[in-house]
Amino acid sequence: MLLSIETSCDETAVSVICLDSFKAAARDTDTYLKSDLIASQTELHTAYGGVVPELAAREHIANLPSLIAEALQQAGISLEEISAVACTRGPGLKGCLLVGLSFAKALALARGLPLIPVHHIEGHILAGELLPEAERPKYPFLTLVVSGGHTMLVLVESFRSYRVIASTRDDAAGEAFDKGATLFGLPYPGGPALSRAAEGGDSSAFAFPVGVPGDPNSFSFSGLKTAVQRVVIGLGAEAKEEKTVQNLSASLQHSIIEALVKKSNQAVESFSPKSFLLTGGVAANKELRARLKREMEKRGVQFSVPPYRWCTDNAAMIGVVAASIWEKTEQDFKGWNPTPGKELGPSAPIAVGARAKWPIAELFADEC
Ligand code: KG4
Ligand code: ZN
């Protein structure tokens, strides 16, 4: 039984995975995912219009013990039956990461359990493994990770082989949705509110720039925000009218999606993947899903997107990274050592440090 913990941003999440069931050939989440809990802090941060890192960290401290107790109860096991602990090590908000990781280390040390530190983005990428067999991405696959903190296209050539094809130079796609929503006077969290408003709008009402600079390896959304800001100021009181908000929302959504789709198509053409996985909180956007699905179908590429609860931050995806390593390497995690020369197993879990910034390219080039 593997306990996994995710606290990198504003969701406290805990899951329990039965490793033996995970290993079964025809595995499905109904059998191996024994519990999968998320305590969202959205309400807490609404008053501030964004995540307040210090408050988020304190909330993780308050939530974690009871969430773990609940996860164990739901799984029908006691703490003694846990055989390994996986935890997000980074990237994310430092204070938030520290809460989960310190908890995981303490638990691992006290009970003599292996600790598997997990890269948050690897979690998002392997969230595709939570899908039924037929829908799981097949290697090599491309993945678009789009959330409030990340926007990247990653080529996954084989298990744990990640090549970043493009990432954002400035704002993340979710941030562009959120900032636009704030400018249009829509409620927090902005992305869902903006996409709802966009449903009634005309996406050609305003011509916002498509944030693809000349560099094929970058996304850029900060210029888009400035362009939107200028239009809103120019519109004056009209910018507050319902129809205008709908049109602004539809136009902004259109240009964010265009940028994402254009780079995705370019990458598919360059790397000819078998599958394309859309993941991260922005994957909730219906228009983005529909556009990418159409584009991939046209190109004969399998399109996968996990259910929303596994697109947004969750602990199941963190557990799946650890469980996949265990399955693929046939290790039992005893003395588990993710980087040659560093003991990160039960003998020294304390050596693992949280990494607020942790490029996925440095997954194996470790310093603790
Ligand atoms: O993955 P996530 O839950 O948290 C992290 O940022 O890690 O992603 C949240 C982001 C926010 O920026 C939110 O506005 C955006 O995903 N989002 C959406 C939609 N639902 C959530 N953006 C566009 N359309 C949506 N329907
Ligand atoms: Zn995330």
Would you kindly state where each structural domain of the chain is located, as residue ranges? Answer: 2-125+312-362, 138-305
User: What pLDDT is recorded for position 49?
Assistant: 85
Instruction: Report the atom number in ligand 1 closest to the C-alpha of 8.
Output: 7
Please state which of the four CATH numbers 3.30.420.40, 3.50.50.60, 3.40.1500.10, 3.40.50.970 is assigned to the domain occupying 138-305: 3.30.420.40
Closest approach atom of ligand 1 to CA 190: 14
Query: What per-residue confidence (pLDDT) applies to 214?
Result: 74
Ligand 1: residues whose CB is within 6 Å?
9, 147-149, 174, 177-178, 189-192, 195, 280-282, 284-285, 312-313
Q: Which of 177, 184, 260 to mutate to test the pocket of ligand 1 (most atoms within 8 A of CB)?
A: 177
Residue 4 structure tokens: 């996994």
Nearest atom in ligand 1 to 311's CA = 1
Q: What DSSP string runs through 145-174?
A: EESSS-EEEEEEEETTEEEEEEEESS--HH
CATH class of the domain at 2-125+312-362:
alpha beta
The segments of the chain whose pLDDT lies below 70 read 211-213, 330-332, 334-350, 366-368
Q: Give yes or no on whether 2-125+312-362 and 138-305 have one common fold.
A: yes
Query: In the prediction, which pLDDT does 336 show?
Result: 60
Give the distance (Å) from ligand 2 centre to CA of residue 146.
8
pLDDT at residue number 108: 86
CA angle 22, 27, 33 (to 5 degrees): 55
Q: Which of 11, 46, 282, 317 most suits a substitution to test ligand 1, by most atoms within 8 Å of the C-beta?
A: 282
State the pLDDT at residue 368. Answer: 45
Quote the pLDDT of residue 341: 46
Instruction: Return the pLDDT at 345.
Output: 47
Beta carbons within 10 angstroms of residue 122's beta carbon:
22
- Ligand with minimal distance to 147 CA: 1
pLDDT of 334 reads 61
Given this model, what pLDDT does residue 349 score? 53
Q: Which of 7, 88, 121, 147 to mutate to test the pocket of ligand 1 (most atoms within 8 A of CB)?
A: 147
CA of 120 relative to ligand 2 center, distance in Å: 6
Q: What's the predicted TM-score (pTM) here?
A: 0.94
Say which residues have a Cβ less than 8 Å from residue 38's Cβ, sequence separation at least 6: 11, 12, 13, 309, 313, 314, 315
Residue 348 token pair? 């020294």
